[in-house]
Amino acid sequence: MTEKPTGNHSKTILYIIGGLAFMAALVFGFNSIGLKSMVETMKPLVEFLTPYMAFPERASEHSLKMDAMMVAVHLLMLVLFLGWSAYFIYVLIRFRESKHPKADYLGAQNKRFTTLAEFGVIAAEIVLIACFAVPLWAEVVVAEKFPQKSDNPVIVRVVAQQFGWNTRYQGKDDTFGKQDVRFISPENKFGYSPTDNAGNDDVVPPFNSMTVPTGRPVIIYLSSTDVIHSYKVVPLRICQDAIPGLVIPMHFKANKPGNYMITCAQLCGDGHAKMRGFLNVVSPSEFDKWLLDSAPKPKTTNAPPVNLE
Ligand SMILES: [Cu+2]
């Protein structure tokens, strides 16, 4: 009767448990530091690498976090590239034909180094996903992280069409007019009810233009009238698909005034390349003035007075 090699099994199980505990401790450690302070620590490095990595300018609060993650991912890739390249060159020299004319069919027996290296890479990748990517993603999409009413957000409705962007702001009453799909027409892309007075003071900027203030959160409710488009402003590091039949919210806080291009990031038809708008980021006081100046003027009639006699 042969004995079962139980010793090896329990050793493997111990390694797995040890590995998992190590990863959990690593993730817990990094998460307790927090995304914000990790990004703050990396800030000088990100700024130093910005020209070398050709990062576009940063114009929103979360853009530094995204660039910090890009730097972290690229640093890991650099370490992997240098490490594996060095190992490759070492193997080429160490096992060259002149010293080893006959191939060894068993190959390397000691795999401790490569196994350790593999687990190191896995640990680094888990930290990147669990401590950078997921918390950053959560900040953007989780409902609790959306700006609340007390944060005084600017609310904008954006409807994409082939090929451009329609935008609409709440007027003085802080309420949009009622919408219904039955009212959608080439002149009424948002489908606003002509009989609902709440929409009378809504601000409708010219086609393909949008204005937001710095320092105040902006919530965009994004939709499309025809095909799938994607609202993308590179300096703000925002990109969201606009899907017909769905209204998708997104939020950001701009922190640098400027005129930034809104591009469509989904191939949406033959005019896709020309589908661009402009997002004007201005100071809060300039924004208030712009909103006031853009408000619809009370309707005046040019009809001649009716003679009632
Ligand atoms: Cu498009």
Q: What separation in Å is there between the alpha carbon of 242 and the centre of ligand 1?
A: 9
The phi and psi torsions of 130 (rounded to 5 degrees) equal: -80, -30
Using CA atoms, how far apart are residues 81 and 111, in angstroms rounded to an integer? Answer: 20
Least confident of 41-45, 56-60, 103-107, 265-269: 103-107
pLDDT at residue 298 tops 70: no
Residue 7: what pLDDT?
Answer: 62
- What CATH fold (topology level) applies to the domain 151-294? Immunoglobulin-like (2.60.40)
Residue 280: what pLDDT?
Answer: 94
**Omega of the bond leading into 55 within 30 degrees of 0 (cis):** no
pLDDT tens digits along 87-116: 899 989 988 888 888 887 887 777 787 788
Cβ pair 243, 224 in contact under 8 A: yes
pLDDT at residue 197 tops 80: no
Q: What separation in Å is there between the alpha carbon of 180 and the centre of ligand 1?
A: 23
Cβ pair 235, 57 in contact under 8 A: yes
End-to-end CA distance of the chain: 123
Compute the radius of gyration of the chain from its Cα atoms.
29
Residue 1: what pLDDT?
Answer: 47
Compute the average pLDDT of residues 24-48.
81
Residue 172: what pLDDT?
Answer: 75
Cβ pair 187, 177 in contact under 8 A: no
Compute the average pLDDT of residues 274-285.
93
Residue type, 130: A
Question: How many other CB atoms are there within 10 angstroms of residue 13's CB atom?
Answer: 10
Q: What separation in Å is there between the alpha carbon of 231 and the centre of ligand 1?
A: 8
Mean pLDDT computed over every residue of the chain: 85
Tokens of 85: 């390249």
Confidence of residue 283 (pLDDT cuts 50, 70, 90): very high
Q: What separation in Å is there between the alpha carbon of 120 and the centre of ligand 1?
A: 42
Using CA atoms, how far apart are residues 179 and 196, in angstroms rounded to an integer? Answer: 9
CA 126 distance to own-chain centroid: 20
Compute the average pLDDT of residues 278-283.
95
In 3D, which of 254, 309, 306 has the Cα closest to residue 283? 254
Whole-prediction pTM value? 0.79
Residue 35: what pLDDT?
Answer: 76
Residues 284, 288, 291, CA angle at the centre, nearest 5°?
A: 135
In 3D, which of 168, 281, 175 has the Cα closest to residue 221? 168
Q: What percentage of the chain's residues is helix, strand, coil (to nearest 5)?
A: 45, 20, 35
Q: What separation in Å is there between the alpha carbon of 244 and the centre of ligand 1?
A: 12
Residue 95: what pLDDT?
Answer: 85
Running DSSP on this structure, what letter comes out for residue 198? Answer: G
Residue type, 92: L
DSSP-based three-state secondary structure for 68: helix
Compute the average pLDDT of residues 197-209.
81
Q: What separation in Å is there between the alpha carbon of 161 and the centre of ligand 1?
A: 7
Residue type, 222: L
Q: Where are the domains of the chain?
A: 15-99+111-144, 151-294
Compute the average pLDDT of residues 209-223.
93
Q: What separation in Å is there between the alpha carbon of 261 and the centre of ligand 1?
A: 14
Q: What separation in Å is there between the alpha carbon of 253 and the centre of ligand 1?
A: 24
Using CA atoms, how far apart are residues 117 and 32, in angstroms rounded to an integer? Answer: 25
Residue 31: what pLDDT?
Answer: 73
Q: What separation in Å is there between the alpha carbon of 224 and the centre of ligand 1?
A: 9
Residue 282: what pLDDT?
Answer: 95
Question: How many other CB atoms are there within 10 angstroms of residue 161's CB atom?
Answer: 19
Q: What separation in Å is there between the alpha carbon of 194 and the centre of ligand 1?
A: 28
Higher pLDDT among residues 278 and 30, named by residue: 278
pLDDT at residue 174 tops 80: no
Q: What separation in Å is there between the alpha carbon of 247 and the centre of ligand 1?
A: 16
* Residue located via tokens 């402009």: 278
Least confident of 64-78, 157-171, 180-194: 180-194
Using CA atoms, how far apart are residues 163 and 183, in angstroms rounded to an integer? Answer: 20
Q: What separation in Å is there between the alpha carbon of 99 and the centre of ligand 1?
A: 62
Residue type, 300: T
Running DSSP on this structure, what letter comes out for residue 51? Answer: T
Least confident of 56-70, 134-148, 194-208: 194-208
